[in-house]
Amino acid sequence: MKQLENKKTLYSGVQPSGNITIGNYIGAIRQFTLLSDQYNCLFCVVDLHALTVRQIPAELRRNTLELFALYIAAGLDPQKNIIYCQSHVPEHAELTWILNCFTYMGELSRMTQFKDKSARNQDNLNAGLFTYPVLMASDILLYQTSLVPVGEDQRQHLEITRDIAERFNNIYGNVFVVPEAYIPKETSKILSLSDPLRKMSKSEPDGAVFLLDNADDIRRKIRRAVTDSDAEIRIDIENKPGVSNLLQIYSAFSGESTDEAIGRFEGQGYGQLKKAVSDAVIAGVEPIQKRYQELIADKGMLHQQMMNNAERARQIAARTLRKVYKKVGLYQG
Ligand code: TRP
């Protein structure tokens, strides 16, 4: 990443919690591959955030490396962008401490994700879950980020990041860029195959196609996708969410517009539609899977790239942290 170029910075983080769905790919990663000329892009595997729920250490380690490889396999370029692992840049944890001292208990208790997660994790209501948004704010603010692509569920966290940044800037001058949400250009949201009223999600594996699913699994999942009883193939999100979703998946992977697709499928049955969707998805994920297998087969090389990217991230992060330490009065010699 050429730091001296006057481009805005775009920052995104994903938890290393296993596989990525074709929904994540279409809605986020594939779009990111188009942004790297326009912005300085950082993509972070947020392993520290993952620790807010209990992890099996060997699994977390494996998931971290796999997500890193999958990002690259899906088209993000570790030379053009910075793709790195959160815990490799200690400045994240360090800035989090400082920002904890500029964040109020009251505002953290209002976070709906905290309320949801604490209801679900009664047996492990740890302080990390509570301060999760402060770590996220540190991720973003360390890199003087202008734009953060966020879905609905992370909007509140971006809001609190802005509040913390503005609060800090009001006291100490312009230390942080105050980030904004990046709204990607309209793409169809990929919905669950088994419940097409909800987003496709990895927590519901039967309704989700994963980037690393084999062809048989992809066919099986798509064959079982919920449709409806009238046999017409058209887009009608309200009355025919399942069929509309299949058309959108087809369009996203084939490159045909949904109108073209509707023309193509005119007079055909849902079985034929599902077969075409499966073919398109399989053709789309195949090169990603191939690249992924090559990458993961050479762990030494992958590790090298990871370390190299962490070093590049660290140079930027350290600059911001140094400034913050100075501003708040920590003795720096
Ligand atoms: N909290 C985000 C999520 O669960 C992940 C995340 C961590 C993130 N740090 C970030 C997203 C910084 C964007 C920017 O999806």
Token code pair at residue 52: 């807010």
CB of 12 closer than 6 angstroms to any ligand 1 atom = yes
**What is residue 186's predicted lDDT score, i.e. its pLDDT?**
64
Q: How far apart are the first and last CA of the chain?
A: 31
Predicted local confidence at residue 121, as pLDDT: 85
CA–CA gap between residue 312 and residue 91 (Å, rounded): 13
Pocket test for ligand 1, best of 49, 150, 152 (most atoms within 8 A of CB): 49
Q: Of 80, 117, 275, 323, which residue is the catalytic one?
A: 117
- Where the chain has pLDDT below 50, the residues are 1-2, 4
Active site residue 117: yes
The reply to whether ligand 1 has any atom less than 6 angstroms from the CB of 132 is no
Distance of CA 18 to the CA centre of its chain: 12
Query: Residue 2: what pLDDT?
Result: 47
Residues 6+ apart with CB under 8 A from 225: 193, 194, 196, 242, 245, 246, 274
pLDDT at 184: 75
The structure tokens listed for 168 are 């800090």
Ligand 1 pocket, residue 15 CB under 6 Å: yes
Question: What pLDDT, on a 0 to 100 scale, did the predictor assign at position 99?
Answer: 98
